[in-house]
Every structure is written in structure tokens, then in C-alpha cells.
């Protein structure tokens, strides 16, 4: 039997790439060439620990062991805090937390009359006072009927605005005192809280702005324009608030707290109010010398002369003139209810802007 050639011993590999001195041994070795990119799959077994370690290192593309940086520690979880049961008070919306914060914080949360419950009576009669503002709106609407009653009895606006100013001064003084003395403020809120919004707890009462707006238009504008401005304030603002709360979520929002539903309601009520006043109340109870609208609209004289019209041409009267005036009244009421001027109260903006808009149109288109 022929003698088998002796198997050479397994070379010790210390690097993935063989040294130059081993280049000749590769050709005489029994095993396939060992390179940096070739895996040693069929190496002969060896009992030597050094051989096992060399074989394991030869399978890696890099023989030099690199020490990687220690990964940063994971962030620690905050300690578990048991949350209070559902419905338990946590103090976030309590009156004490609202009183400690700035006045502008909770006022920007909502236009709701009492979102935080600072007024006690709003918590007791939430649906009647908080949601629908029945007492406040009833007072708002009643002032319009009271104004019509004074007009029907022939009371001059020059005898009314001194009374408005006489009421404005003491009410504003009381409001100043309640902001100065917290005890008196709590008593004031307990007595008149049904007519207030929560924004008026640390702000001025809306009655002050109402009196200021009514006094301004009755003092500086003609009688019919002044009366009409008060009626628009009384009824259009109430309609915008009511319909805005009911249907505002279904219509586009014009700005914060103002929706298309509320503006459309203000315009519709403004048109009806103008038709009622100039179409029924004025003909029934008579015109005054200071009235700006006497039932007719005319093209300005400058325009007539420029186009060669006579003075009696370009005059529109009857239902057509009343329709145009009613449409314009509804528009100025709706626009003044939407616009925001330096954050002023609506009770000032609506009558003043409506009065200026009506006065400007009558100044141009009435003879």
C-alpha cells in the first residue's frame, strides 16, 4: 500500500492579509490562499487554542479590534404619578387659578360669558345665564323698544343725551371702585353677575360702553341717524350673538368670535330695523326738521351738472329709496359688528360706525 504524503501543519494566521515573508508558503500550502476578503471555510481542525483564535480572526475583514465609544445613556423615565380619578378637581380651571393669572389669559380662551366659573350665579343657572345670556340679551333688546317709545312721544335727543351722560359718570365711578376694592367687587358681582360676562370681572362693565356709544350718536348726529344707530346696536348685536352661537359652527369663521351666520343675522335684522323705522315709525309719528332722510335719495348736484341733468332729475323715492336705505343700514350694522378697532367694545363700535356710515350716505345722496 502506497504511503500517503504527510499533511503539513496549519499555519498560524495573525492578520487578515498575509505577511510578505509568507508569500512563498502560500504556493506550497495545502490550503487555498488566505486573503483579506476571502473566508476560510474549510480549514483543518486543530486542537490548539491559538489556531482556533487565528481561524476566527481570519473570517473578519479587519483583524484589528476597534473599541467603539460607549453609547449615551437612555433618558430616565419620569416618576409615575397617579392621576386623579375622572371628575376630581385638579385646580387647573378653578377661580383661584384664574385670579392668579393675568387678566388677558383667560379672556382669550373664549367669548363665553363665564368659561371659568368666576361668577357664582352663572354656575347655578348655567343654561339660562351662561349659555344663552337671557338676562343680558333681554336688557339689550329692551333699550331699543325704549328708544322707539321715546321717539313716538316726540322726545328730543337733546333732552336724552344729558341723562345718558349723567348715568355714565356714576356707573363708571362704581366700576373703578370695584376694581380698587376686591370686597366691593365680590359684592358687585353677586348682585349684578347675571348681566355680566366673565371678561368683565377684571374689565369694565359693558353697560359703560353701551352708554358711551348711545350718548355719542345722540349727541353729535341728527335725530333719525342717532335713533337708528341705537336701534342697530340694540337689535343687530343681539341677533349676531344669538345666531352666531347657534349656527356659527356650521359657517365659515370671519375672525375670532365672529362667524358668517352671526354677520348674516346682523345684516338681516338691520334691514328689517331700517324698514320698520323709516317705513313705519317715521311716517306715523312725523318727520323732524333735523332728519337727514325724508324718503328720497338724489344724485349729487355736482354729478347732475356734469352730465347735464336738471335739478329735478335723478331723484329716487318711495319703496325703492327705502329698500336702498334698508340694505345699506343692514350692511353697515353687519360690518361694524365684525370689525375690530383697537380691541374696543362692540357697544361703542356698532353705534358709532353705523351712525357715521348712514350720515355719510345721506350727506351725499339727499338733497
C-alpha cell at 106: 383667560
pLDDT in tens, 306-325: 888 888 888 998 999 999 99
Does residue 147 or residue 118 have the better pLDDT? 147
DSSP states of 115-156 as a string?
Answer: SS--SHHHHHTIIIIIIT-HHHHHHHHHHHHHHHHHHHTT--
Give the N- to C-terminal CA distance of the chain in Å, as an integer: 142
CA–CA separation, 363 and 301 (whole Å): 12
CA–CA separation, 332 and 310 (whole Å): 31
CA–CA separation, 171 and 148 (whole Å): 24
- CA geometry: angle 218, 213, 273, nearest 5 deg: 70
pLDDT at 257: 82
When pLDDT is averaged across residues 268-276 and rounded to a whole number, the result is 96
CA–CA separation, 96 and 128 (whole Å): 24
When pLDDT is averaged across residues 230-239 and rounded to a whole number, the result is 94
pLDDT in tens, 278-302: 999 999 988 777 789 988 999 998 8
Helix (H, G, I), strand (E, B) or coil at 74: coil
Q: Is pLDDT above 90 for 95?
A: no
Longest dimension (CA), the chain: 148
Question: 236 near 270, Cβ under 8 Å?
Answer: yes
Helix (H, G, I), strand (E, B) or coil at 36: coil
What does pTM read for this prediction?
A: 0.63
pLDDT in tens, 167-181: 899 989 988 888 888
CA–CA separation, 273 and 234 (whole Å): 10
Helix (H, G, I), strand (E, B) or coil at 290: coil
CA 228 to chain centre: 30
Could you give the C-alpha distances from 81 to 76, 77, 78, 84, in angstroms and in order?
15, 12, 9, 9
Q: Is pLDDT above 60 for 202?
A: yes
Q: Is pLDDT above 50 for 44?
A: no
C-alpha cell at 202: 377684571
Q: Is pLDDT above 70 for 12?
A: no
Amino acid at each position: 500500500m502506497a504511503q500517503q504524503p504527510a499533511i503539513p501543519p496549519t499555519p498560524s494566521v495573525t492578520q487578515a492579509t498575509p505577511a510578505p515573508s509568507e508569500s512563498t508558503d502560500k504556493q506550497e500550502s495545502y490550503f487555498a490562499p488566505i486573503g483579506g476578503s476571502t473566508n476560510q471555510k474549510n480549514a483543518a481542525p486543530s486542537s490548539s487554542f491559538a489556531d482556533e483564535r487565528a481561524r476566527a480572526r481570519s473570517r473578519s475583514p479587519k483583524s484589528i479590534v476597534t473599541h467603539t465609544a460607549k453609547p449615551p445613556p437612555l433618558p430616565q423615565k419620569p416618576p409615575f404619578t397617579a392621576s386623579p380619578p375622572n371628575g376630581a378637581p385638579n385646580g387647573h380651571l378653578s377661580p383661584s387659578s384664574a385670579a392668579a393669572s393675568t387678566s388677558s389669559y383667560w379672556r382669550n380662551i373664549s367669548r363665553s360669558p363665564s368659561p371659568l366659573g368666576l361668577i357664582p350665579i352663572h354656575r347655578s343657572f348655567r343654561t339660562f345665564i351662561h349659555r344663552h345670556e337671557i338676562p343680558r340679551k333681554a336688557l339689550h333688546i329692551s333699550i331699543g323698544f325704549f328708544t322707539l317709545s321715546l321717539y313716538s312721544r316726540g322726545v328730543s335727543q337733546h333732552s336724552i343725551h344729558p341723562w345718558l351722560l349723567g348715568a355714565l359718570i356714576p356707573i363708571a365711578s362704581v366700576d373703578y371702585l370695584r376694581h380698587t376694592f376686591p370686597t366691593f367687587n365680590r359684592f358687585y358681582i353677586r348682585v349684578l353677575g347675571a348681566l355680566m360676562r366673565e371678561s368683565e370681572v377684571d374689565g369694565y362693565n359693558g353697560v359703560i360702553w353701551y352708554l358711551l356709544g348711545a350718548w355719542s350718536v345722540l349727541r353729535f348726529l341728527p335725530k333719525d341717524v342717532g335713533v337708528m344707530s341705537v336701534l342697530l346696536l340694540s337689535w343687530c348685536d343681539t341677533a349676531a350673538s344669538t345666531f352666531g352661537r347657534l349656527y356659527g359652527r356650521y359657517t365659515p369663521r370671519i375672525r375670532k368670535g365672529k362667524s358668517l351666520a352671526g354677520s348674516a343675522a346682523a345684516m338681516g335684522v338691520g334691514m328689517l330695523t331700517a324698514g320698520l323705522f323709516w317705513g313705519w315709525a317715521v311716517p306715523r309719528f312725523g318727520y323732524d326738521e333735523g332728519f337727514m332722510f325724508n324718503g328720497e335719495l338724489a344724485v349729487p348736484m355736482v354729478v347732475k351738472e356734469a352730465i347735464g341733468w336738471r335739478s329735478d332729475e335723478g331723484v329716487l323715492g318711495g319703496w325703492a329709496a327705502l329698500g336702498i336705505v334698508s340694505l345699506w343700514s343692514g350692511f353697515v350694522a353687519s360690518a361694524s359688528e365684525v370689525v375690530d378697532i383697537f380691541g374696543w367694545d362692540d357697544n361703542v363700535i356698532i353705534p358709532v360706525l353705523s351712525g357715521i356710515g348712514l350720515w355719510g350716505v345721506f350727506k351725499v345722496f339727499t338733497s
